[in-house]
Structure 1
Amino acid sequence: MSGLLVRPMTAGDCEGVAAIRIRGWQHAYRGLVPQPYLDGLDIGADAERHRARLLEGDGSAVDLVAEAEGGELVGWAAFGPYRDGDVRTGEAELYALYLRPEHIGRGVGRALLSEATHRCASAGPRRMYLWVLKDNTRARRFYERAGFGADGAEEPFEVAGVAVPEVRYARELGG
């Protein structure tokens, strides 16, 4: 996508990021998580959570946005230290990557993931992890094309009382 700018997220981006995240969930997870949960997602409440996390966070998580020509936010990614329960390790983790559904397949996700992996590799971690819903075949193909692979770890992710299996993917960062 020409004219795309990947940049750090600001507090002023929280509403747009919340819309991207919620519409991304509603698009990507339809049929994978309970529909009443997806229908009940609230952009305003999500924006407030993002704003609070940005203002009160310890700076270890990094949020990036993808801005199209003209200033429209079309994607968001968040990454930082790998979380193993409450323990931080020396590895990196992609916490989230969501796009406006109409921008899927236009290079926005690749641009965000490329910038996230580049920043992580530059900071020192040798490996990056991410968790993806086991039945989200489109996302799994996307990550596999980017050099990630399932490493055998699997755990349930609970959504509205329903266990939804996730698999962990990993990629060596080199450097």
Structure 2
Amino acid sequence: MTHVREMDAADIEAVSTIRVRGWQAAYAGIVPRTYLDAMTVEADASMRRQWFSSPRGESMDLVAHGERGPVGWVCFGPCRSPLPGPLRVAEVYALYVSPDLTGQGIGRMLLGEAHSRMEGQGFGASALWVLRDNRRARRFYERAGYRADGAAQDDVYGEVTLTELRYLRGL
């Protein structure tokens, strides 16, 4: 049985593995292979340990914990680029599931818990950024009620520039 709980320091290695393997699986054919191959669990875990040991402000990390330990991770907090209007907007910064477990409802469970906690913190909407060419992720977020709002930004991966689209959802 998988359940969602707050991440703790003991989860760092597992979360780094989920993130790096998730990137390598989800972005294959989108992000340059050289960029993906250069990612390591060790480097990610080192960065995450530093980040985890410092004050994190209002962001929150949750893990989906199953029989084999953490199998998914979501990080969220206040929207980094505030939107006009009366609603206080949160942002999903990252959501990854172990690649061998995608399609089993773990991402949906993590996102649902993140939405509940956002709402409990007084947020009225949630935003996130998704690579335009990541059709699988876009379908996932659209099924969860997110819609592209027309905002776009470019990110550089190696020597390739990729476009991200902003998605929004009411809570």
Relative to the length of structure 2, the TM-score reads 0.94
1:116 aligned onto 2:114: yes
Q: Equivalent residue of 2:95, what SS?
A: strand
Following superposition, the deviation at residue 71 of structure 1 comes to 4.2
Q: Equivalent residue of 1:6, what SS?
A: strand
CA separation in 2, counterparts of 1:95 and 1:155? Answer: 15
Q: Equivalent residue of 2:80, what SS?
A: strand
1:166 aligned onto 2:154: no
Aligned length, in residue pairs: 167
Deviating above 4 A after TM superposition, structure 1's stretches of 4 or more consecutive aligned residues are none
Aligned match of 1:48 in 46, 49, 67?
46
Match of residue 150 from structure 2: 152
CA separation in 2, counterparts of 1:52 and 1:110? Answer: 29
Following superposition, the deviation at residue 49 of structure 1 comes to 1.2
Worse overlay, 46-55 or 23-32: 46-55
Show CA shifts across 1:75-122 (max 9, x none). 00000010029xxx9410000000111110101000000000110011
Matches within 5 A, 1:79-158: 79-84=76-81, 90-158=88-156
Q: Equivalent residue of 1:142, what SS?
A: helix
1:8 aligned onto 2:18: no
CA separation in 1, counterparts of 2:138 and 2:22? Answer: 15
Match of residue 25 from structure 1: 23
Q: Equivalent residue of 1:39, what SS?
A: helix
Letter in 1 for 2:133: D
Letter in 2 for 1:16: A
Show CA shifts across 1:104-157 (max 9, x none). 010100000000011001111111100000010000000000000100001111
Match of residue 74 from structure 2: 77
Unaligned runs of at least 5 residues, structure 1: none
Letter in 1 for 2:39: L
| Percent of paired sites with the same residue | 48
Aligned match of 1:62 in 60, 63, 82?
60
Relative to the length of structure 1, the TM-score reads 0.92
Following superposition, the deviation at residue 28 of structure 1 comes to 0.4
Show CA shifts across 1:30-88 (max 9, x none). 010110010010101101111211211333110000111x2421100000010029xxx
Q: Equivalent residue of 1:48, what SS?
A: helix
Letter in 2 for 1:19: T
Q: What is the RMSD of the two structures over their aligned residues, measured on CA atoms?
A: 1.4
